Structure 1
Amino acid sequence: MIETKVYDAIVVGTGISGGWAAKELCENGLNVLVLERGPMVKHVEDYKTMNDDPWDYPFKGELTRDDKEKYHKQLRVGWAPKDDVKHFFVNDLEHPYQETKRFDWIRGYQVGGRSLTWGRQSYRWSDIDFEANKKEGIAVDWPVRYKDIAPWYDKVESYIGVSGQALGLKQLPDGKFQPPMELNCVEKDLQASLGKNFKDGRLLTIGRVAHITENTTDIEGRGPCQYRNRCWRGCPFGGYFSSNSSTLPAAERTGNMTLRPNSIVYEISYDQNSKKATGVNIIDAETHEKIAFKSNIVFLCASAMASVGILLQSKSKEFPNGMGNNHDQLGRNIMDHHYQLGASAKVNGHLDKYYKGRRPNGFYIPRFVNLDEKTKRTDFLRGFGYQGGASRGSWSETVAELGHGPAYKEAILKPGGWEIGMTGFGEMLPHHDNRVTLSKDKKDQWGLPQLNFDVEFKENEYKMREAIKEEAAAMLKAAGFTDVHTYDTETGPGLGIHEMGGARMGHDPKTSVLNKHNQLHSVPNVYVTDGAFMTSASCVNPSLTYMAFTARAANHAAEQFKQHKFS
């Protein structure tokens, strides 16, 4: 079935990137069709667990055995899914993928995508990140620098609301911040210790998060964070940024957006004569009907691996191995961040202090290695940062075989002692043979080839992991904390949920897939602005960078469209 209407642009995906593409294109006057493979989720109306308490669920929200089987790969992340949020994660039995080597692909198929469940940590890249590949002779050079992206970081931060503290660091540029959240007393102790005991410039600050922290009339339709820490269920106040609370409503207000859920895009159509994309082909998730939609521009924002899969499936005489894949670059250089390793400790004292509310944020220790000659390491390239927090222990630490009687009942009503911990997020290098391909024999329920991951950590990554644990323990010990333990959970790439690469940007079409504007070198009316475009990984959470690049690319596309470059 072929739709006869020709849209100015089609946006594939409604997550962090897709929402921004829709907003910017619609506000530039383009008529935009937005396609989402999952069901509709309306802001507030469809946050069905937003006000639930743990006692509202059997087993305090733990999944049944049947559900654990359904979400067996999603559960690798540890903290999700639970009964209160499982509907925002994919059923692995219904959405399988293949693993030549272990890859933890955590997904959410619904309008809003993972913008409903993301960690909201929002950090800018610096030129240390953009220049690293070229300086070290790793992979290919980024075709942009910080000055190209800085104005778009400004735009995004001002719109979504990022709370944080200005630090003046070269490796972590400051932004347009709302008032920072507060550190607690133990976190302040560690902050003071870092300045006293380490001379390499390391410091601790409150995390920079996409949460509104003050009443403002500049951010339409959203209110400040209520410190409930139920963000992953959907926030009825719009306190944190999501596509559902922010960018998609902005696109809708223009009257230029058509949103179609349950639309599985499986290929981009191509015209051999004009050498341009002509739209996309979808399968209706409910009816299994195939429909072709036409447009002058296509924005791929389906999430990094899904967008790579769509390009690999978009085959033609011109592109027998997938659209834009003339030089075997598509699906390569897959990256993620290190995750689930670090250190924890117990804290003596401060038993007369507590905290108010449930702060949906922790502290952040920015990268402090391999920044200059003074901080250079010889055992690995690049760097890492830490996220962490301190809190008072729960009643559960009082449970023991001998716990009984009046004293025990009194103890479980009081908070325990303080504990503190931190998790490292480290950079993974873009290795050419870390790749995703289409399975030759495994199909999904719609008859589409499953993705097959062949991705692994290599020597540089394993050496960095050791340093992450050692430095975390050293910082906790220097602060005088006790019972310091390191931890390193068995994992593969993907678990950081920052998967990226596969259609990287670059100067040369022979060694990259996209140009400096996120356009396919060989098909300029196709833009890719989710994590697939990343040429290297940095060590900071990437979502703010996805949004900045998407806003930049969408405005470039709108300008080109108005100059009739794509018609």
Structure 2
Amino acid sequence: MANLNTTLNKTNTYDAIVIGSGMSGGWAAKEFCEKGLKTLVLEKGRMVNHVEDYPTMMQDTWDMEHHGALTPEDKEKYHIQIRSGFVGEPVKHFFTNDIDNPYQETKRFDWIRGNHVGGRSLTWGKHVYRWSEHDFEANAREGIAIDWPIRYKDIAPWYSYVEKFVGVSGEKLGLSHLPDGEFLPPMELNCLEKHFRKEVEQKFKGRHVTIGRVAHLTEPQPQHLELGRGKCQNRNRCSRGCPYGAYFSSNSATLPAANRTGNFAIRPNSIVHSLIFDEKTGGAANGKAKGVKVIDSETNKEIEFFAKIIFVCASTLASTQILLNSTSNRFPNGMGNDSGELGHNLMDHHYHVGAMGSYDGMEDQYYKGRKPTGVFIPKYVNIDDASKNPNFLRGYDYQSAGGGRGDWGRGNGIEGVGASFKDSLFKPGGWGMGLMGFGEVLPYHENKVTLSKDKTDKWGIPQLVFDAELKDNEWKMREKMKSDAAEMLEKAGFKNVQMFDNVGGLGNGVHEMGTARMGKDPKTSVLNAQNQLHSVPNVFVTDGACMTSANCVNPSITYMALTARAVDFAVNELNRKNL
């Protein structure tokens, strides 16, 4: 596969500029380039080309210098990233250096980042779930925050469009609150997970157990094969970068698709300082942005790039940081911030709560491979009157869940020495299973980020200051998430069931959303129904910053669908000479 094009237009002028090369930015680049627009992608971090820049993709633990562990120096370098529990020697190079990229915490916030080409599309969990009409109506139905300016019918065809390209494996359930999508064959539950499914669905009305819907190719289609993507090998080493292109990432899919058009260029090591507002078009009416100011992280030189359309897809908080720092006479408090909502309504998913237990029996059964997904239990609370919980709003699901047998690593936690002990570890251990809950966080206005007045990073850009926390609704929800998990395991015959609640900080779900929300009214929102800034029509934000509520399912497929939809709208408007 050819490397991504880094040859730039000598005039620094393009039809479209996309800030960020991750989940949303990759889609924006692909869609613009395939529609014939000369497109520049600006990426804060280093270049990562598919396959050649995945250094640990084939290594076993014993092949690594520190056998998978972080050194004391690494722990300092990644002192915030390690709060997630995801960072070890095999993947540290795909997480951000916290010393070089500081921020301030009025309240703890775990900002987990990946500053490189592809961003967190290389390390995401790959779970893919559509939102439903129930979710888009939730704010209006409950009088929370503001109403979404779109509904499921507006985005449903775009879900289908992106799912076919992404490649999503999953099982159709026919649930109105979790719409089915364009699925490849699902991965299989193992024998214990099938037992759990049978018991739960018999004993708990309205609860469903399925295999996780994930962006993994179980049966590649022609368009996947054309890009060099292949079938999932069930290695479960996804966050190192997949040499088979079996899971969806910008690096394996959208950026190569953009690259092959001849309309694409990417510039790594490009730290976006701000958007440049064209004061001549400002006035009292809506004006336009004319370009982007960039700091080259290798030379520290400032460079300006210009375009008719700008898509801000740097990831939720980085996008908001850019907009807040884009000040002018027209926008003294940040570009598009007439409503004062820019930076507010910060959300995430809260998790690390649930239960685990052991299971006696099935010693004669095992499973093949290390499938990169597990059990998924869709939301079943607060869907209708029958499922209403009087203690909290919204709901939760269970994922990062599944059953398995202990492997040789269990030797770290049991007593024993000598050859016979070591030999015993090469025999499968007992069966066990865990359920991890994912809950919705409400869009509280007071959960916010602002720019520091006195602290900057080493490039002179004001640091973000976080002031956000879980509130009473989420704490009450967590109690139910925990007790429900334990009850399901116990009624399915599990022993030694233990509940856990390791909340950490907001942000640990790595699904930060909000801070530049969509809405119908410019007085209460930053973006309109097309993801445009209300007051700057040629600037669009299609990453998690645009979200008006959070739901309890993974949001990435919604970002992709919104991005493809917004590009289609933007190009049509450009062709009509409205941009």
Note whether the superposition's TM-score is higher than 0.5: yes
Q: Secondary structure at 2:373's aligned position in 1?
A: coil
The worse-fitting range, judged by mean Cα deviation, of 462-471 and 409-418 is 409-418
Distance 2:321 2:484 in 1: 38
How far did residue 262 of structure 1 move? 0.6
Distance 1:232 1:397 in 2: 23
Equivalent of 1:462, from 450, 453, 475?
A: 475
Equivalent of 2:41, from 34, 47, 71?
A: 34
Q: Secondary structure at 1:61's aligned position in 2?
A: coil
Equivalent of 1:423, from 433, 436, 439?
A: 436
Distance 1:115 1:370 in 2: 31
Give the 3 Å change call, closer, same or farther, for CA 481–96 of structure 1 in structure 2.
Answer: same
Is the CA contact (8 Å cut-off) linking 1:3 and 1:294 kept in structure 2?
no
Distance 2:485 2:355 in 1: 6
Distance 1:405 1:512 in 2: 65
Distance 2:450 2:412 in 1: 49
Q: What residue is the counterpart of 1:285 in the other structure? A: 297
Is the CA contact (8 Å cut-off) linking 2:39 and 2:265 kept in structure 1?
yes
Give the 3 Å change call, closer, same or farther, for CA 7–365 of structure 1 in structure 2.
Answer: same
How far did residue 339 of structure 1 move? 1.5
Q: What residue is the counterpart of 2:320 in the other structure? A: 308
Q: What residue is the counterpart of 1:248 in the other structure? A: 255
Q: What residue is the counterpart of 1:60 in the other structure? A: 67
Matched, 1:436 2:449: yes
Q: Secondary structure at 1:30's aligned position in 2?
A: coil
**Structure 2: stretches of 5+ with no match in the other structure:** 1-8, 282-286
Distance 2:302 2:165 in 1: 37
Matched, 1:347 2:359: yes
Q: Secondary structure at 1:188's aligned position in 2?
A: helix
Equivalent of 1:117, from 118, 123, 126?
A: 123
Equivalent of 2:152, from 146, 151, 154?
A: 146
Q: Could you list the per-position Cα deviations for residues 104-150 of structure 1 after superposition, in whole angstroms to 9, with x for gaps in the alignment?
A: 00000000000000000000000110000000000000000000000
How far did residue 402 of structure 1 move? 5.4
The worse-fitting range, judged by mean Cα deviation, of 425-434 and 55-64 is 55-64
Q: Secondary structure at 1:228's aligned position in 2?
A: coil
**Which letter maps to 2:168?**
V
Q: What residue is the counterpart of 1:390 in the other structure? A: 403
How far did residue 411 of structure 1 move? 1.8
How far did residue 407 of structure 1 move? 4.6
**Which letter maps to 1:385?**
D
Q: What residue is the counterpart of 1:93 in the other structure? A: 99
Is the CA contact (8 Å cut-off) linking 2:353 and 2:503 kept in structure 1?
no
Q: What residue is the counterpart of 1:170 in the other structure? A: 176
Is the CA contact (8 Å cut-off) linking 2:407 and 2:426 kept in structure 1?
no
**Which letter maps to 2:148?**
W
Q: What residue is the counterpart of 1:544 in the other structure? A: 557
Is the CA contact (8 Å cut-off) linking 2:12 and 2:304 kept in structure 1?
no
Q: What residue is the counterpart of 1:217 in the other structure? A: 222
**Which letter maps to 2:375?**
F
Is the CA contact (8 Å cut-off) linking 1:9 and 1:297 kept in structure 2?
yes
Q: Could you list the per-position Cα deviations for residues 78-126 of structure 1 after superposition, in whole angstroms to 9, with x for gaps in the alignment?
A: 1x22111111000101111110000000000000000000000000000
Q: Could you list the per-position Cα deviations for residues 258-281 of structure 1 after superposition, in whole angstroms to 9, with x for gaps in the alignment?
A: 111111111000112221000100
Aligned residues: 563
Q: TM-score, structure 2 length as denominator?
A: 0.96
Distance 1:46 1:497 in 2: 24
Distance 1:459 1:401 in 2: 39
Counterparts of 1:476-487 in structure 2, within 5 Å, are: 476-487=489-500
Equivalent of 2:239, from 232, 243, 250?
A: 232
Q: What residue is the counterpart of 1:276 in the other structure? A: 288
How far did residue 214 of structure 1 move? 1.2
Distance 1:186 1:197 in 2: 16
Q: Secondary structure at 1:273's aligned position in 2?
A: helix
Matched, 1:356 2:368: yes
Q: What residue is the counterpart of 2:5 in the other structure? A: none
Give the 3 Å change call, closer, same or farther, for CA 480–252 of structure 1 in structure 2.
Answer: same
Equivalent of 2:504, from 491, 516, 523?
A: 491
Q: Secondary structure at 1:251's aligned position in 2?
A: helix
Is the CA contact (8 Å cut-off) linking 1:332 and 1:434 kept in structure 2?
yes
Is the CA contact (8 Å cut-off) linking 1:3 and 1:291 kept in structure 2?
no
Q: Could you list the per-position Cα deviations for residues 366-424 of structure 1 after superposition, in whole angstroms to 9, with x for gaps in the alignment?
A: 00000001000000000000010111012344567852456534422211000100111
How far did residue 47 of structure 1 move? 0.9
Distance 1:458 1:225 in 2: 40
Q: Secondary structure at 1:390's aligned position in 2?
A: strand
Is the CA contact (8 Å cut-off) linking 1:398 and 1:411 kept in structure 2?
no
Q: Could you list the per-position Cα deviations for residues 155-178 of structure 1 after superposition, in whole angstroms to 9, with x for gaps in the alignment?
A: 000001000000000110000000
Q: What residue is the counterpart of 2:273 in the other structure? A: 266
**Which letter maps to 1:98?**
Q
**Which letter maps to 2:486?**
A
Q: What residue is the counterpart of 2:211 in the other structure? A: 206
Distance 2:413 2:345 in 1: 49
Distance 1:399 1:253 in 2: 49
Distance 2:538 2:264 in 1: 19
Distance 1:500 1:553 in 2: 18
Q: Secondary structure at 1:334's aligned position in 2?
A: coil
Distance 1:144 1:549 in 2: 10
RMSD: 1.3
**Which letter maps to 1:377?**
N
Distance 2:414 2:172 in 1: 49
Matched, 1:327 2:349: no
Q: What residue is the counterpart of 2:389 in the other structure? A: 377
Distance 1:484 1:404 in 2: 28
Distance 2:23 2:494 in 1: 38
Q: Could you list the per-position Cα deviations for residues 513-537 of structure 1 after superposition, in whole angstroms to 9, with x for gaps in the alignment?
A: 0000000000010000000000000
**Structure 1: stretches of 5+ with no match in the other structure:** none
